[in-house]
Amino acid sequence: MMSLQRVVLKSYHEVFKWLLIGISYAYIYWYVRSYEHLSAFWHHLSGNLPASSSLFALALILVPLNWALEAFKWQKLVAQTHPLSFTNSLRAVFSGLSVGIFTPKRIGEIGGRIAYLPKAHRIKGGYFTLLGSLAQHITTLTVGAIATGFILFSKAFGQFTLPNALKSTIATAFLLIYVCCLFLYFNSGAALKHIRKINWLKRHLPIEHSFHTPWPLLARVLFISHLRYLVFASQFALMLYYFQVDISWAHAFCGIAATYFILSLVPSTSLIELGIRGSVALFVIGGLSAPAPGILFASMLLWLINLALPSLLGSVLFLKKR
């Protein structure tokens, strides 16, 4: 009976996933086709890209900083059980990225990262990977909820208006999600203690107290996650201006934060996220700026330089490690 339920749930999940992908790409197609000044946009863009090359160069320079912060964060976490050099930590992060790009919410990153740890520490290394991801997720929720609240309660977003009661309900839901994630993050050891009571996990997880992480370290990891968020949000803004999107800095960062917030709630892999990311960016950022296909190009190019290319490097490192 349970297996049948799992099959049914998995089927519903697959249908929902592909429906979401179909809607995303259909929306992109409709947006681009309905844009009245597409040929003029291309002409204007081709003439101005060379002048904006410094923006693209700066976005590229921020790529290694983005992943260096992630590597530093993971290095600090795993240092509790196994000291790891920054170089190996960076290699582990890239290896994890190459594996995680094929899995929902990049959960497969765990396998790529723990390959750089001794076998005795790999379970805890997986736990620290999840903890670091949770810190990044909390950051996305925090900044994104604030930005989304600003968009919903302001008149800047012209695509639609919502009743005040619905706005309040959404704001309350965002707050509850954030509080729950924050509580889980700072009490992950206690949460794991209860999770460990599941019978099939008892054989694989070591004793509970080995997962204790000091609060000061958790706070530092959360701070690093905020710095990393600032880096890739800045990259997105630079890409928007590189593609000549007419939008203020304040609206750009609000739109970017809201886009990442929505994406964090959507179940997808990094590979199929490309279309979803583009459609969400078009809808949210497009509601805060003049309509422009440059929003789509900025989103897709950022995905390419921040995820696709680093994952290719990571695949080489992962194969060499194996």
User: Tens digits of per-residue pLDDT, 148-202?
Assistant: 877 877 765 655 566 777 767 777 777 787 788 778 777 766 655 545 554 544 5
Q: Which residue has the tokens 């994104």?
A: 144
Contact between 281 and 295 (Cβ < 8 Å) = yes
Compute CA distances 24 → 21, 151, 281, 304, 317, whole Å: 5, 21, 11, 18, 33
CA gap 214, 290 in Å, rounded: 47
Which pLDDT does position 64 carry in this prediction?
93
| pLDDT tens, residue by residue, 210-226 | 567 888 898 999 999 99
Query: pTM for this one?
Result: 0.79
Give residue 15's Cα distance to chain centre.
Answer: 23
> Using CA of residue 13, residue 16, residue 19, residue 20, what is the dihedral sign?
negative
The ranges of the chain with pLDDT < 50 are: 1-2, 24, 35-37, 194, 198, 200-201, 207-209
Domain boundaries, the chain: 59-321
Which pLDDT does position 256 carry in this prediction?
94
CA gap 81, 128 in Å, rounded: 10
CA gap 126, 77 in Å, rounded: 11
Which pLDDT does position 2 carry in this prediction?
45
Which pLDDT does position 200 carry in this prediction?
44
Which pLDDT does position 222 carry in this prediction?
92
CA gap 97, 110 in Å, rounded: 9
Q: Position 162: which residue type? A: L
Which pLDDT does position 236 carry in this prediction?
95
CA gap 78, 314 in Å, rounded: 19
Compute CA distances 279 → 283, 284, 298, whole Å: 6, 9, 12
HEC per residue, 215-268 = HHHHHHHHHHHHHHHHHHHHHHHHHHHHCCCCCCHHHHHHHHHHHHHHHHCCCC
